[in-house]
Amino acid sequence: MKATKLKRLQAAGWKAGTAREFLKLSEEEAMLVELKLLLVDAVRRSRRKHGLSQTELAQRMKSSQSRIAKIEAGDPSVSLDLIMRAFFATGAGRQELKRVFSETEKMAA
């Protein structure tokens, strides 16, 4: 939405946060969540593939076992940054990264 258009809408009595906007936001939010879940799964798989326990992975990345557990559980308190750090810390390289991202296609429409 152009700023000018937004201004016109607001002048016409619209408030920010219409149903349309809400739905759009949720859609984008959903995309982010799906992406996170994809990566979270990749972390667990990569960790196991490399024969690491949660505790070992935590040591590698100077975090804690409980936080790794939360990462893998898809806990909402976990940032995308931490997920990616965990993924790389499992030993996953560019190859694995590419493979995971290719799963992006399978994300629900």
Q: Give the interface with a second copy as residue ranges (CB under 8 A).
A: 1-3, 6, 16, 28, 31-32, 35, 51, 53, 55-56, 59-61, 79-81, 84-85, 88-89, 93-94, 97-98, 101-102, 104-105, 107, 109
> Quick check: 74 and 20 in contact, CB under 8 A?
no
Angle between helical axes of 65-72 and 19-49 (0-180°, round to 10): 120
Residue selected from 53, 101, 103, 107 as contacting DNA according to rule CB under 7 A: 53
Question: According to the binding rule CB under 7 A, does residue 90 interact with DNA?
Answer: no
> Quick check: 55 and 65 in contact, CB under 8 A?
yes
> Quick check: 36 and 74 in contact, CB under 8 A?
yes
Distance CA 68, CA 86 (A): 8
Q: Go through the chain and tell me how many residues it has.
A: 109
Question: According to the binding rule CB under 7 A, does residue 5 interact with DNA?
Answer: no
Q: Least Å distance between CB 13 and DNA?
A: 21
Residue selected from 76, 94, 102, 106 as contacting DNA according to rule CB under 7 A: 76
| Residues at the interface with DNA (CB under 7 A) | 3, 48, 53-55, 58, 61-67, 69-70, 72-73, 76-79, 81-82
